[in-house]
């Protein structure tokens, strides 16, 4: 018996990735099927279904699941799930597909990633997409309230832009996944499946594991969050997104090099595991924090570190809205249907000159003038513009790596800062 938290959904790890003879037979069959091109987000979702990261999902959501997830945070069968996982197609492509027919799902590079048995087709009007955005992406920040959301979202919210750019018909049904893409080759020893992370944790004898979500280079605040978690859990899983980000964000290869430098110099290595997962960011703030906890449970994680503005973008979300949402979600009676990975809520952290170290609003009695406020956005902006990075913002070993990356860029993206950055 494992001491680890069970996978979400009560059915163990639900993995749609084929292997061996089954894989070869399905690849041959896929060559003769109608093809649908999928987006980067859909590609990442598929891989997570393949490796068990999205357990208990077996495929893309039908209308009942989509509606219930948006409205109630639950699949139609009552299992907690925080954000839709849907697949869209053009009206023309959808019209050519019969219910019950199998199709091939092909990514932007022409790689056949999966086959899917189409069990349902349903229209997504602009009104439906707007409703999904208002349910899943509307927050409590300045860019969301007072009628600002739709004034700002189509220009400044990449998650909303992705939903509104989806095609007109959603296709739903179970999938058979044929590939993990190139993640294993690009990120050897870092990219891993839930089964692999669980084995690592079990071999270490860990029971309580906290996950640190990263999409930015690891600065002093991230380091402090991880060290708080090391003190209260058996170990910490530094788990980076290695899928696609928005323009101006720093690529995974560089972020992983930064994490390696920090683990080498500033952590007890036995207490840290670095991993990577294949999703694209949705930038859904509180809803995405819930998704992060849900799939981390599948990876064997019992606590999800939630700090300030988790998975946020712009000023669409309140600073700690991603923490308070955990107190509002439904709690199904069955353990298997309930989210069991709990939040490790940590206040805004910063370096304080008077405290002479890292601190938080709960521990530091001093003023803003004494504090170095840390954010990934501010760090990227300073590095991109070649301006000086404030002392105590990041470790010098990390800044050397980041300066080298920015020095090699020919095309630079303007980094916008916001009121809470």
Active site residues: 215-216
Instruction: State the Cα–Cα distance between residues 73 and 192, nearest whole angstrom.
Output: 27
Dump the DSSP string for 285-331: THHHHHHHHHHHHHTT-SEEEE-TTTT--TTSS-TTHHHHGGGTS--
Q: How far apart are CA 211 and CA 297, in angstroms?
A: 10
Query: 81 with 45: CB under 8 angstroms?
Result: no
Q: Hey, what are 76's tokens?
A: 């139609």
CA 184-195-242 angle, to 5 degrees, is 35
CB 88 within 8 A of CB 124: yes
Cβ contact 266:395 at 8 Å: yes
Task: Give the 3-state secondary structure of residue 140.
Answer: coil
Q: Give the contacts of 408 (CB within 8 A, at least 6 positions apart).
A: none
- Residue 23, classified by CB atoms within 10 Å of its CB into exposed (0-12), middle (13-18) or buried (19+), is middle
Cα–Cα dist 314/280, whole Å: 18
- Record the tokens describing residue 194, joined without a space: 């839930």
Single out the residue of 238, 240, 216 nearest to residue 225, CA to CA. 238
Dihedral through CA 29, CA 31, CA 37, CA 42, nearest 10?
A: 40
Question: Is residue 121 within 8 Å of 171, Cβ to Cβ?
Answer: yes
Q: Would you state the structure tokens that stand for residue 37, as one six-digit string? A: 């091109």
Give the Cα separation of 216 and 310 in Å (integer).
Answer: 11
Backbone angles phi and psi of 412, in degrees to 5: -110, 140
Which residues does 28 contact at the CB level (< 8 Å), separation at least 6? none
Cβ neighbours around 76 below 10 Å, total: 16
Backbone φ and ψ of 116, nearest 5°: -140, 135
């Amino acid at each position: 018996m494992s001491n680890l938290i069970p996978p979400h959904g009560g059915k163990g790890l639900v993995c749609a990735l084929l292997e061996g003879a089954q894989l070869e037979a399905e690849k041959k069959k896929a060559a003769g099927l109608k093809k649908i091109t999928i987006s980067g987000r859909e590609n990442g979702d598929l891989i997570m279904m393949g490796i068990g990261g999205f357990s208990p999902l077996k495929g893309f959501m039908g209308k009942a699941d989509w509606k219930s997830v948006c409205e109630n945070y639950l699949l139609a069968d009552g299992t907690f799930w925080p954000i839709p996982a849907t697949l869209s197609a053009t009206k023309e492509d959808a019209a050519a597909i019969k219910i019950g027919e199998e199709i091939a799902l092909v990514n932007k590079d022409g790689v056949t990633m999966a086959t899917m048995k189409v069990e349902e087709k349903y229209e997504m009007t602009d009104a439906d997409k707007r409703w999904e955005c208002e349910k899943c992406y509307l927050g409590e920040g300045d860019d969301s309230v007072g009628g600002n959301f739709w004034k700002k979202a189509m220009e400044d919210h990449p998650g909303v832009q992705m939903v509104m750019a989806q095609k007109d018909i959603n296709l739903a049904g179970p999938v058979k996944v044929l590939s993990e893409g190139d993640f294993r080759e690009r990120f050897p020893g870092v990219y891993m499946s839930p089964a692999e992370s669980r084995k690592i944790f079990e071999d270490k004898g860990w029971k309580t594991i906290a996950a640190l979500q990263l999409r930015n280079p690891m600065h002093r605040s991230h380091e402090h969050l991880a060290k708080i978690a090391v003190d209260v859990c058996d170990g910490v899983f530094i788990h980076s997104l290695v899928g696609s980000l928005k323009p101006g964000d720093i690529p995974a290869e560089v972020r992983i090099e930064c994490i390696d430098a920090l683990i080498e110099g500033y952590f007890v290595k036995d207490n840290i595991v670095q991993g990577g997962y294949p999703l694209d960011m949705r930038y859904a703030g509180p809803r995405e924090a819930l998704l992060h906890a849900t799939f981390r449970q599948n990876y064997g994680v019992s606590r999800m570190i939630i700090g300030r503005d988790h998975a946020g973008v712009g000023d669409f979300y309140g600073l700690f809205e991603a923490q308070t949402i955990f107190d509002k979600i439904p709690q199904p009676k069955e353990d298997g249907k309930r989210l069991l990975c709990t939040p490790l809520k940590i206040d805004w952290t910063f370096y304080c000159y008077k405290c002479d170290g890292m601190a938080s609003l709960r521990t530091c009695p001093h003023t803003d003038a004494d504090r170095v406020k840390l954010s990934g956005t501010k760090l990227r902006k300073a590095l991109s513009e070649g301006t000086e990075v404030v002392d105590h913002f990041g470790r010098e070993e990390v800044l050397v790596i980041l300066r080298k990356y920015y020095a090699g860029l020919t095309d630079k993206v303007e980094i916008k800062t916001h009121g809470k950055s």
